Structure formats: structure tokens, C-alpha cells
Structure 1
């Protein structure tokens, strides 16, 4: 899946906006200062997995405007990830090469006649 914190994907043309997607992750238990980063990373990864699953279910091959929100509570950490699912097509030689490599690695779906 192509991911960007910006509202565009350089080298790609956004063909279809598929709406907002989100995911939530958490880690519960006593959080010490030394363990905070590790627990935050775990919650971030869980939230991102949920977001990517939603995007894939909508037929997206990218998410733009990706943001994380963190809430630190005495009982744990809650992370939400959100962005906009899109279908994008590579238009520069660099983006075409990147997309082909990501397709071979199973990170993005192959382009179909509809999305080209």
C-alpha cells in the first residue's frame, strides 16, 4: 500500500478517492517511561494494520493524509490512525519502477484496466 502524510503521492495521479479510513490500536497495562516508546510503536502498528485493511477492502492501493493520534492514559495507550483511501496510478518513470517493485513484493495490488 502506498502511504503518504501529504495530500498527494508524488509521481502518481490520484484517480479515485475512496473515502476516509481508520484503525485503532492500544496497549494496556502499567506504562513506565522506559516502556512508553515500545508500547506506542505496538499501538501504532496495530492501528496502521486496521487502516490498511479498511483501505484494501475498498479497493485502494494508497492512503493519503495519514495521521496518528495518541492518547496516553494511566491504564495504557490508545492510537488512532486515519487518512483517505485512494486509487493511484504511477505517471513518472520512477513511480512506475517503484510500483512494479512493490507489486512483485506483494505490497500493492497489480494495476488493472480500470485503474490505469
Structure 2
């Protein structure tokens, strides 16, 4: 299945819109103390891998939902990581 951040694909027509698909991925930390320890270590590779895993999980959920609706593409994919990035002591752009 094709998944893009664009609202449309140049050269192709969107013939049917099946509605929005949403996903949410939450950090899986062993405990709250470990979460805060990792949050204050911006260079911590476990934190980076955790964010990547959450993003991948959310994308897989979006693809699964789209496939269940019979879609052949997901258009306009966007990630809102404000809650994740708010725990980091640096600004990510």
C-alpha cells in the first residue's frame, strides 16, 4: 500500500475518500522513574529507538485500518509528536 504525506499524488486522481484513519502509540517504559531518566538524556539511544518504534507502530496501525477499509493508499499522513517531544530537554525540528 502506498503511504504519503502529500494530500494527493501528482498524476493520479483520488476517486473515493474512505475517511480518516488515526493511530496512537504510547511509550512503553518499565516504570515512571526510567521514563524521566531517559527524558533528560536527549542523547540516550534507547529514547531515540523508543520514539522510532512508536512512530513505526502508529504507521502500521494506520496501514492496517486503511487496508480494512479497502484503501490502496493513505494520503496526507502526518505525525504529531508534541507529547513525546515535550519530555525532551531540547527542541526537535
| Aligned twin of 2:72 | 61
Find the aligned partners of 1:2 and 1:28 in 2 and give their Cα distance: 28
Find the aligned partners of 1:14 and 1:43 in 2 and give their Cα distance: 29
Find the aligned partners of 2:28 and 2:3 in 1 and give their Cα distance: 27
CA RMSD of aligned residues (A): 1.7
Higher relative contact order (CA closer than 8 Å, sequence separation 6+): 2
Find the aligned partners of 2:24 and 2:56 in 1 and give their Cα distance: 9
| Aligned twin of 2:10 | 10
In the superposition, the TM-score normalised over structure 1's length comes to: 0.57
Structure with bigger helix share is 2
Find the aligned partners of 2:22 and 2:67 in 1 and give their Cα distance: 12
Structure with bigger strand share is 1
Find the aligned partners of 1:65 and 1:13 in 2 and give their Cα distance: 14
Report the Cα offset of residue 20 of structure 1: 0.3
Helix, strand or coil for the counterpart of 1:55? helix
Moved over 4 A (4+): none
* Equivalent residue pairs, number: 74
The unaligned stretches of length 5 or more in structure 1 are 75-116
The unaligned stretches of length 5 or more in structure 2 are 88-93
